[in-house]
Amino acid sequence: MCGIVGYIGSAPHAYDVLLDDLHRLEYRGYDSAGIALVRDNGALVRVRAVGKVAALEEKLTKRAQVYAKLGIAHTRWATHGAPSVRNAHPHTAGAITLVHNGIIENFAQLREEVQKEGRMLRSDTDTEVIAHLIDMAYAQLHDLADAVRAVLPRLRGAYALLVIAKGDPKTLVAVRVASPLVMGVAADALFFASDAVAIVAHTHRVIYPLDGEIVVAKRTEGRVSYTITTEKGALRKHTPRVLKWDHTQAQKEGYAHFMLKEIMEQPHAVTDAMRGRLDSDNATARLGGLAPVEERLRTIKRIIIVSCGTSYHAGLIGAQLLQEYSGIVAEAVYASEFRYSNYLLDKETAVLAISQSGETADTLAAVREAKNKGVLTLGIVNAVGSSIAREVDAGVYNHAGPEISVASTKAFTSQLIVLVLIVLLLGRQRTMSVAMGKRIIRHLCAIPRLIETVCQHHKEIRAIARRYKRYDNFLYVGRLHNFPIALEGALKIKEIAYVHAEGYPFGEMKHGPIALVEPSLPTVVIAPRDSVYEKNLSGIQEIRARRGKVIAITTHDAVDIVKHAHDAIIVPKTLPVLMPLITVIPLQLLAYEVGVAHGVDVDKPRNLAKSVTVE
Ligand code: F6R
């Protein structure tokens, strides 16, 4: 995830402050870094480097130490364009230099527009176009804040921007919409960052600007001041809050673990995964990464999804949805099995790899095997520029931001969103009606809010986790789209809490697992009210008849399930195809809380690695 930092102060420390702050943001994950400073004489110094902040420092030390009282810097986690110096921030256009965290949805259209104005774009990013737009406005208005204000209505998407101008060593303009931004307020300096971790090293007094608010920071006669206004210019007053966090807490934004932070980030992560990709008018999805193969996709009759672990569970749901809504024959296969099996592949088959890291050895090998056999390869990958992203013929990024905790949470839900988008695209190319496409889009838009509602049940889920923490074994069961969620819930509690758990389709109980049911084996039943409600209800009664405990993940209208379960977590309802996005959240929280209760280092469980780059 990109990180931005900025400094304006009465002392010429911008260089040191910004480099230290970039180091503090390193934990967010990044592939390149850059810094821009405006000296007191108005001259701009800009340096960018691929790789670690240390590589940037090395480039900088080759130059003389720069004394400046104003500067901005950035760590980039690529979204548009591969990691490279020319794509690294800060971006400059004419007098304007800026850093950006977020995604501009309408950047393709804006790019064309500035190119028509005769502007040369030197990067593949969505950010550079903002610099050009602001520079064009600045040339007319001669005031940095006015120029930024003039451009904001043109931008669609999410952004936190820090903007400076060559020739103006006394002004920094900051603005945010749907991307994080915090300002630290000290007596003789103001600090800006995407994350309070960079701020608490300097001051604990902070202001969180609201969406659309513009901060204009000025230095006059050695004193620093700021004003905050709305986009329309109305003055806003914020009293600084005092953060009591230390450095480590700040990295986790106050959460005890990255896993919890990433669970709670899911409303945001799924929004980013669909941002700019929904085409409501045509009831379909716009996926730029698949555009080069869109015509070839029309000829595809079969899709094999290859992936591992949590990504495989997303693949299982993806395969169900593809079959239901696009008429494409689809199956999910463990990448480690695919690579050694002899799947019959032909020109009408595509292989779709799903991977958070984009580096999983088995998934990469499966992609290579498929390429070797001449079939179309596609990817759903979170890490931009990773091996799988580079090797597939076409693909879609999740845009979930880096996942730091070993257990996958926000990557999973954003993979599901991308799968639904692909299903919309392929479905509408084939059998899906406009009405169905619109219906899915409508419900998709409500998903972030519904996930937020489930996250609010955290305390209640913690209480359940504490009641069940002494059990050594669990069964997880679900049907249809919630069967892969049963597998995912079982995987999460295994890896995070070291508790043995098995996931099963609920209908399989009688064919074996029911032999295990007794008071010491709780069963987690994922059973929202849907087409298999009655079946789930009888299953629960069969467990109860054997004195088994039942924890139900269900919806408020599943009255009898709520009545018969020992514990019920009620989640909001959406279309059955989208329910996994909701039902998985309590299972992530349950595993997390049982893990914490057992004293496990949940962010780094034993024997596991975030990126499994070996077989
Ligand atoms: C589970 C988990 C793993 C990964 C698996 C695949 O929480 O994180 O099961 O899902 O190792 O990793 P990626 O998606 O990076 O290919």
Q: Domain check: are 345 and 391 in the same one? A: yes
Smallest Cα–Cα separation from 513: which of 476, 486, 463, 488?
Answer: 476
Assign 3-state DSSP to the chain and report helix, strand, coil percentages, each to 5: 40, 25, 35
360 occurs within a structural domain: yes
User: pTM of whole model > 0.75?
Assistant: yes
CB of 82 closer than 6 A to ligand 1?
no
Q: Domain check: are 188 and 256 in the same one? A: no
Cβ contact 106:155 at 8 Å: yes
List alpha helices for 498-607, DSSP H.
533-545, 559-564, 579-597
E-strand ranges in 166-213 read: 168-177, 182-185, 189-193, 205-207
Instruction: Name the pLDDT band for 611 (thresholds 50, 70, 90).
Output: confident
CB of 357 closer than 6 A to ligand 1?
yes
Cβ contact 175:161 at 8 Å: yes
Residue 148: phi, psi to the nearest 5?
-65, -45
Beta bridge partners of 279: 284
Smallest Cα–Cα separation from 185: which of 220, 216, 211, 224?
Answer: 224
Q: Domain check: are 488 and 358 in the same one? A: no
Report how far residue 554's alpha carbon sits from residue 535's, in angstroms, rounded to the nearest whole number: 14
Q: How many CA atoms lie within 13 A of 103 on its CB side?
A: 21
Q: Domain check: are 15 and 62 in the same one? A: yes
Q: What is the pLDDT of residues 391-424, one digit of tens each?
A: 999 999 998 887 889 999 999 999 999 999 999 9
Residue 407 CA: which ligand 1 atom is closest?
Answer: 7
Distance 496 CA to ligand 1 centre (A): 13
Report how far residue 110's alpha carbon sits from residue 128's, in angstroms, rounded to the nearest whole number: 10
Residue 406 CA: which ligand 1 atom is closest?
Answer: 8
Q: Closest residue (by CA) to atom 7 of ligand 1?
A: 407
Q: Domain check: are 465 and 430 in the same one? A: no
Domain extent, residue 592, equals 457-601
pLDDT value, residue 249: 67
CB of 125 closer than 6 A to ligand 1?
no
Q: Domain check: are 287 and 241 in the same one? A: no
Q: Domain check: are 293 and 416 in the same one? A: yes
Residue 363 CA: which ligand 1 atom is closest?
Answer: 16
Q: Domain check: are 347 and 420 in the same one? A: yes
CB of 320 closer than 6 A to ligand 1?
no
Domain boundary among 250, 275, 304: 250
Q: What is the pLDDT of residues 282-295, one digit of tens each?
A: 999 999 999 999 99
71 occurs within a structural domain: yes
How far is residue 437 CA from its own chain's centroid? Answer: 24
Distance 493 CA to ligand 1 centre (A): 14
Beta bridge partners of 6: 72, 192
pLDDT value, residue 538: 94
CA distances from 60 to 54, 92, 124, 277, 480 (A): 10, 18, 24, 39, 57
Burial of 168 (0-12, 13-18, 19+ CB in 10 A): middle
Distance 106 CA to ligand 1 centre (A): 32
Give the 3-state secondary structure of 495-517.
HHHCCEEEEEEHHHHHHCHHHHC
CB of 360 closer than 6 A to ligand 1?
yes
Determine how many CB atoms are found less than 10 A away from the CB of residue 588: 28
CB of 408 closer than 6 A to ligand 1?
yes
Distance 485 CA to ligand 1 centre (A): 15
CB of 308 closer than 6 A to ligand 1?
yes
CB of 383 closer than 6 A to ligand 1?
no
Domain boundary among 454, 472, 490: 454
Residue 492 CA: which ligand 1 atom is closest?
Answer: 7
Q: Closest residue (by CA) to atom 3 of ligand 1?
A: 309
CB of 407 closer than 6 A to ligand 1?
yes
Q: What letter would DSSP give residue 121?
A: P
Supply angle C-alpha 128, 167, 78, rounded to 5. 20
How far is residue 385 CA from its own chain's centroid? Answer: 16
SS3 for 415? helix
CB of 612 closer than 6 A to ligand 1?
yes
Q: Domain check: are 398 and 348 in the same one? A: yes
Distance 313 CA to ligand 1 centre (A): 10
Q: Domain check: are 497 and 350 in the same one? A: no
Domain boundary among 202, 221, 250: 250
Report how far residue 142's alpha carbon sits from residue 570's, in angstroms, rounded to the nearest whole number: 56
Q: What is the pLDDT of residues 182-229, one digit of tens each?
A: 999 999 999 999 888 889 889 999 998 998 999 999 999 879 999 999
Q: Domain check: are 86 and 211 in the same one? A: yes
Q: What is the pLDDT of residues 428-451, one digit of tens each?
A: 999 999 999 999 999 999 999 999
Between 85 and 249, residue with greater pLDDT? 85
Residue in this structure with the two tokens 């480590």, named with its chain if needed: 248
Q: Closest residue (by CA) to atom 10 of ligand 1?
A: 310
Residue in this structure with the two tokens 């749907």, named with its chain if needed: 178
Report how far residue 151's alpha carbon sits from residue 144's, in angstroms, rounded to the nearest whole number: 11
Q: What is the pLDDT of residues 477-507, one digit of tens each?
A: 999 999 999 999 999 999 999 999 999 999 9
Four-point Cα dihedral 578, 583, 584, 586, nearest 10: 150
Determine how many CB atoms are found less than 10 A away from the CB of residue 27: 16
Query: What CATH number is given to the structural domain containing 73?
Result: 3.60.20.10
Domain count, the chain: 3
Q: Catalytic positions, please?
A: 2, 610
Distance 309 CA to ligand 1 centre (A): 5
The predicted model gives 87-91 an average pLDDT of: 95
Cβ contact 42:167 at 8 Å: yes
Q: Domain check: are 222 and 351 in the same one? A: no
Q: What is the pLDDT of residues 43-86, one digit of tens each?
A: 999 999 999 899 998 888 766 568 899 999 999 988 777 789 99
Distance 356 CA to ligand 1 centre (A): 7
In testing the pocket of ligand 1, which one of 354, 408, 419, 493 has its CB within 8 Å of the most ligand atoms?
408
Report how far residue 365's alpha carbon sits from residue 334's, in angstroms, rounded to the nearest whole number: 12
285 occurs within a structural domain: yes
Kind and range of the H or E element at 42?
none
CB of 355 closer than 6 A to ligand 1?
yes
Q: Name residues whose C-beta falls within 8 Å of residue 426's C-beta, 6 or more positions apart in sequence.
A: 297, 300, 322, 326, 328
Report how far residue 331's alpha carbon sits from residue 349's, in angstroms, rounded to the nearest whole number: 11
Round the average pLDDT of the chain to a whole number and report it: 93
In testing the pocket of ligand 1, which one of 360, 392, 415, 592 has its CB within 8 Å of the most ligand atoms?
360
Query: What CATH number is given to the structural domain containing 336?
Result: 3.40.50.10490
Which tokens belong to 4? 């931005």
Smallest Cα–Cα separation from 182: which of 172, 173, 193?
Answer: 193
